[in-house]
Amino acid sequence: MNETRNIGDTLLKVDNISLSFGGVKAITGVSLEIREREICAIIGPNGAGKTSMLNVINGFYHPQEGTITFGGEVRKQMRPHLAAAGGIARTFQNVALFTGMSTLDNIMTGRNLKMKKNFLWQALNIGPARKEELEHREFVEHIIDFLEIEAIRKTPVGRLPYGLQKRVELGRALAAEPKLLLLDEPMAGMNVEEKEDMCRFILDTNDEFGTTIGLIEHDMGVVMDLSDHVVVLDHGEKIADGVPDVVRADQNVIDAYLGVAHD
């Protein structure tokens, strides 16, 4: 697969990360790499530490040990604004949209970091800031077209069905033109049709914009179809890492998912 997929060098590298909350260990000594333009899936049973790993990568959680290398910089801890500024965008497991705002406004917030004009100009909303706003608006309309959500442009997102909310959330992440897009269970709670749509958008994003994607997903069919490379976590530890077919056949993975007879 790799020869046709044009996968590049390492974009993100987490090395030997350990994270605990008080006495509870969430992640123990996990290392993983995500390379440019690939789709990397992080899978594992509930409580395996997948979301914690995402939170470490974008700086919500600060690990006690290990390093995070992104864009050539080695850090002990990431910070949310550094992550956002460096080009990491993400979605959340339980959709974290700004529910009172329209679809358009939600996606516009994703452009926040791209708006460079002076704070005062923005406050007054005149002159250069006005022009800038229009340019960003154009980009956002492009994303809205791409995700086929033109019809709900002005609808407050709180009123949208779950599947569409997930799509808007993806739109907000895309608006930041991320280098690395982290998706936390993008297909959770969706019906088959919605899942197919979401798969298509993820693949198209990867294809058209060359965005590197790290995703957490439970649907094995989806994971095996989409990803170039799969990392399996269980009880906070990495138990497998490789191309989908190899991971699928791995005995440790099968044990983790199906349980293992204790004899």
The nearer residue to other proteins, 41 or 83, going by C-beta atoms, is 83
Q: Where are the alpha helices (DSSP H) in the chain?
A: 2-5, 50-57, 80-86, 103-109, 119-124, 127-146, 162-175, 192-209, 220-226, 244-249, 251-258
Instruction: Please give the residue ranges that form the binding site for other proteins (CB under 8 A).
Output: 58, 60, 80-81, 83-85, 89-90, 92, 96-101, 105, 108-110, 112-113, 115, 119, 122-125, 129, 133, 172-173, 176
The nearer residue to other proteins, 82 or 224, going by C-beta atoms, is 82
Q: For residues 181 and 173, is the Cβ–Cβ distance under 8 A?
A: yes
Give the β-pairing of 65-70 and 73-75: antiparallel
The nearer residue to other proteins, 129 or 232, going by C-beta atoms, is 129
Nearest distance in Å: CB 138, other proteins = 15
Q: What is the DSSP letter of 158?
A: G
Give the β-pairing of 65-70 and 10-21: antiparallel
The nearer residue to other proteins, 123 or 192, going by C-beta atoms, is 123
Nearest distance in Å: CB 181, other proteins = 11
Nearest distance in Å: CB 101, other proteins = 6
Give the β-pairing of 212-216 and 229-234: unpaired
Among 182, 166, 216, CA closest to 50: 216
Q: Which residue has the tokens 């990392």?
A: 231
Nearest distance in Å: CB 83, other proteins = 8
The nearer residue to other proteins, 35 or 79, going by C-beta atoms, is 79
Nearest distance in Å: CB 164, other proteins = 17
Q: How far apart are CA 194 and CA 98, in angstroms?
A: 22
Burial class of 7 by CB neighbour count within 10 A (0 to 12, 13 to 18, 19+): middle
Torsion of CA 162, 164, 167, 171, to 10 degrees: -120
Nearest distance in Å: CB 232, other proteins = 25
The nearer residue to other proteins, 216 or 253, going by C-beta atoms, is 216
The nearer residue to other proteins, 73 or 255, going by C-beta atoms, is 73
Nearest distance in Å: CB 28, other proteins = 25
